[in-house]
């Protein structure tokens, strides 16, 4: 009989331990999602040509140098990078007669917004590129390849930095020199090459930019339309962060509610006033601690708050807006840089839900068998 009781306790403890471990994984993934909260991503249904992207980038840099945002009242654009991806391009190492396939990320702007702690190649670096470790090993047999040369579509690139990436990535600034001395994007926007339009003109369909604290997502979206006439659609990663945060907080919320309920039952069982006061004080401390936890973790964006409480249609509009945002995140063509936030969100959600299931199972298991055990041992 005792052995069966011990086995039940071990099962309950194992369920609780696994739930805690999954909660830890969910929290870590959510924390990684929050690291990107100072960035906002846009999707361009009409991709920009190389020429247009470079014009926008050059104009933005000129405005910052002149500090026109304070001179004439116009707003300067925060740091951004216009980019896109070409899947499975062939890169060669002419010296070793080796070739490899990787996904090419074409950039026009600040590369640090796409790759953490990576400031190279700069905007005017017409020869630099980035390469991931796997592709570097396949081309050179080593990951120490900074400064070495590779070729892509008849153009030579010098590796500025090697990326620690799970995916195969080859990234460079658009406008890198061609083999004949011309520059990509130097042709007129509608000029064709060999009867076909420049293959890069349908690639630059993403914008990643720095998000100032005082700016909302809608403000930044309007800025693109007002300054450059670019119709950019928000990729609402902020919504995914909020959903992930809700499932991370499920475990603390469930635990707090259970202990408050347990303390309430314990309060009702006490006959002496001193013990009632002690239980009530402990309940108050637990409630205050949980409130502080929620206050530090919950941040409601301004666009989730109606300007007037009488605007009941606001909630219907907000629901439709967020529904469309989720549909857009699902249907857009995914790039290698999208897999990171997609993986973090999936891990946050799945681990949080499974951890909650294990917690509820552990609570129900302990309550049923422990209460049953106490009822059996009582005379």
Contact 174, 57 (CB under 8 A): no
Give one DSSP letter per residue of 52-93, joined into a string.
HHHHHHHHHHHHHHHTHHHHSSPPPPPSEEEEEEEEEEEEEE
What is the maximal distance between C-alpha atoms in the chain?
96
Strand-pair partners of 60:
none
Q: Cα separation of 77 and 84, whole Å?
A: 20
Q: Which sign does the torsion angle of CA 66, 71, 75, 78 carry? A: positive
Q: What is the pLDDT at residue 210?
A: 84
Sequence-separated (6 or more) residues with CB below 8 Å from residue 64? 76
Burial zone of 173 (CB within 10 Å; 0-12 exposed, 13-18 middle, 19+ buried): buried
Contact 230, 44 (CB under 8 A): yes
Q: What is the pLDDT at residue 186?
A: 40
Q: Cα separation of 308 and 298, whole Å?
A: 22
Task: Read off φ and ψ for residue 303, nearest 5 degrees.
Answer: -75, -5
Q: What is the pLDDT at residue 196?
A: 34
For every one of its 379 residues, what pLDDT tens digit does the chain have, with 9 covering 90 and above? 456 666 666 776 777 778 788 888 888 888 777 777 778 888 888 888 888 888 888 888 877 777 644 545 456 778 888 888 888 888 888 888 888 888 888 988 888 888 877 788 888 887 888 998 899 888 888 888 888 888 888 888 988 988 887 888 898 988 744 433 344 444 444 444 333 344 555 788 888 888 887 777 777 888 888 888 888 888 877 788 888 888 888 888 887 777 777 777 777 777 777 777 877 787 788 777 777 766 655 666 656 666 555 556 766 777 787 777 888 888 888 887 887 788 888 888 888 888 888 877 777 776 666 555 544 544 4
Q: What is the pLDDT at residue 378?
A: 45
| Dihedral over alpha carbons 2, 8, 11, 12 (to 10 degrees) | -120
Q: Which tokens sit at 308? A: 């007037």
Instruction: Give SS3 for 30.
Output: helix
């Amino acid at each position: 009989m005792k052995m069966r009781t011990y086995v039940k306790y071990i099962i309950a403890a194992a369920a609780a331990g696994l739930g805690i471990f999954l909660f830890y994984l969910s929290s870590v993934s959510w924390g990684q999602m929050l690291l990107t909260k100072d960035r906002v991503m846009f999707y361009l249904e009409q991709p920009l040509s190389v020429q247009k992207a470079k014009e926008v980038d050059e104009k933005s840099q000129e405005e910052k140098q002149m500090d026109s945002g304070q001179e004439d009242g116009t707003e300067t654009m925060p740091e951004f990078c216009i980019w896109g991806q070409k899947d499975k391009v062939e890169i060669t190492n002419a010296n070793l007669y080796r070739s490899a396939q990787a996904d090419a990320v074409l950039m026009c702007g600040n590369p640090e917004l796409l790759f953490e702690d990576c400031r190279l190649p700069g905007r005017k670096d017409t020869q630099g590129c980035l390469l991931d470790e796997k592709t570097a090993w396949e081309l050179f047999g080593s990951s120490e390849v900074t400064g070495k040369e590779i070729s892509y579509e008849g153009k030579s690139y010098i590796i500025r930095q090697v990326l620690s990436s799970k995916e195969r990535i080859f990234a460079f600034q658009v406008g890198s020199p061609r083999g004949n001395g011309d520059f990509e994007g130097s042709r007129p926007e509608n000029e064709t090459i060999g009867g076909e339009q420049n293959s890069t003109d349908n690639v630059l369909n993403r914008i990643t930019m720095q998000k100032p604290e005082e700016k909302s997502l809608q403000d930044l979206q309007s800025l693109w339309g007002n300054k450059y006439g670019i119709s950019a659609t928000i990729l609402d990663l902020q919504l995914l962060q909020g959903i992930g945060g809700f499932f991370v907080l499920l475990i603390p919320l469930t635990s707090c509610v259970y202990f408050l309920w347990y303390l309430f039952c314990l309060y009702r069982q006490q006959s002496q006033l001193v013990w009632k006061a002690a239980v009530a004080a402990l309940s108050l401390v637990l409630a205050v601690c949980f409130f502080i936890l929620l206050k530090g973790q919950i941040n409601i964006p301004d666009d989730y708050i109606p300007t007037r409480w009488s605007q009941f249609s606001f909630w219907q509009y907000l629901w439709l807006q967020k529904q469309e945002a989720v549909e857009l995140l699902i249907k857009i063509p995914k790039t290698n840089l999208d897999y990171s936030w997609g993986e973090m969100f999936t891990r946050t959600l799945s681990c949080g839900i499974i951890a909650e299931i294990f917690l509820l199972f552990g609570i129900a298991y302990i309550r049923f068998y422990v209460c049953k055990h106490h009822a059996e041992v009582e005379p």
